[in-house]
Amino acid sequence: MVERYVMSIDQGTNSTRCILFDRGGRLVSVAQREHQQHFPRPGWVEHDAVEIWHNLRRVVSEVLTGSGTAVDGEQVAAIGLANQRETTVLWDRRTGTPLGRALVWQDTRTGPLVEELRQRPGEEFFLDRCGLPPSTYFSALRIRWLFDHVKGLEQRAKDGEVLFGTMESWLVWNLTGGVDGGLHITDATNASRTMLMNIHTLTWDEELLAFFGVPRPMLPEIRSSAETYGEARALLPGVPITAALGDQQAALFGQTCFSPGEAKCTYGTGSFLLLNTGTDVVRSRHGLLTTVAYKIGDRPPVYALEGSIAVTGALVQWFRDRLGLISSAPEIETLARTVEDNGGCYIVPAFSGLFAPRWRSDARGVIVGLTSYITSGHLARAVLEATGWQTREVVDAMNADSSVALKELKVDGGMTADNLLMQFIADVLDVPVVRPMVSETVSLGAGYAAGLAAGYWTDLEVLRRNWHPASRWLPRMDPGHRESEYDNWRRAVERSLGWIRSPGAS
Partner 1 sequence: MAGPVQSIERAAAILRLLAAGPRRLGLGEVAASLGLAKGTAHGILRTLQHVDFVEQDATTGKYQLGAALLHLGTSYLDVNELRSRSINWADALAARSGEAVRLGTPLEGMVLVVHHVFRPDDTLQTLDVGALLPLHASSLGKVLLAYGTAPFDSALESGLDAYTRHTLVTREQLTRALAEVREQGWAVENQEMSMGEAGLAVPIRGHGGLVVGAIGLSGPVERICDSQGRPRPSLITLIREAARAISRDLGAARW
Residues that bind partner 1 (CB under 8 A): 24-28, 30, 36, 68, 327-334, 414, 416-419, 437-440, 468-473
Tell me whether residue 279 or residue 419 sits nearer to partner 1 (CB atom): 419
Query: Are residues 288 and 271 in contact, defined by beta-carbon separation less than 8 angstroms?
Result: no
Tell me whether residue 107 or residue 333 sits nearer to partner 1 (CB atom): 333
Cis peptide leading into residue 121 (ω within 30°)? yes
Count of residues for the chain? 506
Nearest in space to 86 (alpha carbons), one of 179, 176, 189, 174: 189
Please give the order of strands across the beta sheet that includes 263-267.
289-294, 302-309, 271-278, 263-267, 409-412, 433-436, 469-473
To partner 1, the closest distance from the beta carbon of 27 in angstroms equals 5
To partner 1, the closest distance from the beta carbon of 322 in angstroms equals 14
To partner 1, the closest distance from the beta carbon of 69 in angstroms equals 10
To partner 1, the closest distance from the beta carbon of 351 in angstroms equals 21
Tell me whether residue 66 or residue 260 sits nearer to partner 1 (CB atom): 66
To partner 1, the closest distance from the beta carbon of 328 in angstroms equals 5
The three-state secondary structure class of 221 is: strand
To partner 1, the closest distance from the beta carbon of 13 in angstroms equals 18
To partner 1, the closest distance from the beta carbon of 331 in angstroms equals 5
First to last CA, the chain: 73
Tell me whether residue 367 or residue 420 sits nearer to partner 1 (CB atom): 420
Cα 461 from chain centre: 26
Tell me whether residue 152 or residue 324 sits nearer to partner 1 (CB atom): 324
Distance CA 383, CA 315 (A): 7
Distance CA 217, CA 227 (A): 23
Q: What residue type is assigned to position 21 of the chain?
A: F
To partner 1, the closest distance from the beta carbon of 84 in angstroms equals 20
To partner 1, the closest distance from the beta carbon of 458 in angstroms equals 20
Tell me whether residue 130 or residue 426 sits nearer to partner 1 (CB atom): 426
Nearest in space to 26 (alpha carbons), one of 444, 472, 495: 444
Taking CA 473 as the corner, what is the angle to CA 471 and CA 478, rounded to the nearest 5 degrees? 175
Q: Any idea what DSSP says for residue 360? A: B
Tell me whether residue 190 or residue 416 sits nearer to partner 1 (CB atom): 416
Cα 158 from chain centre: 30
Distance CA 85, CA 52 (A): 14
To partner 1, the closest distance from the beta carbon of 430 in angstroms equals 17
Tell me whether residue 27 or residue 208 sits nearer to partner 1 (CB atom): 27
To partner 1, the closest distance from the beta carbon of 426 in angstroms equals 10
Helix-strand-coil split of the chain, %, nearest 5: 35, 25, 40
Tell me whether residue 136 or residue 255 sits nearer to partner 1 (CB atom): 255
Tell me whether residue 68 or residue 504 sits nearer to partner 1 (CB atom): 68
Nearest in space to 109 (alpha carbons), one of 477, 361, 457: 361
Query: Are residues 363 and 494 in contact, defined by beta-carbon separation less than 8 angstroms?
Result: no
Tell me whether residue 329 or residue 400 sits nearer to partner 1 (CB atom): 329
To partner 1, the closest distance from the beta carbon of 416 in angstroms equals 8
Q: Any idea what DSSP says for residue 217? A: G
Mutual angle of helices 139-149 and 111-119, in 10-degree steps? 110
Q: What residue type is assigned to position 320 of the chain?
A: R
Query: Are residues 304 and 277 in contact, defined by beta-carbon separation less than 8 angstroms?
Result: yes
Query: What is the torsional sign of CA 79, 443, 53, 43?
Result: positive
Tell me whether residue 417 or residue 497 sits nearer to partner 1 (CB atom): 417
Tell me whether residue 402 or residue 466 sits nearer to partner 1 (CB atom): 466
Query: Are residues 64 and 73 in contact, defined by beta-carbon separation less than 8 angstroms?
Result: yes
159: left (phi over 0), alpha (psi -120 to 50) or beta: alpha
Q: Any idea what DSSP says for residue 204? A: B
Mutual angle of helices 313-321 and 376-401, in 10-degree steps? 160
To partner 1, the closest distance from the beta carbon of 417 in angstroms equals 4
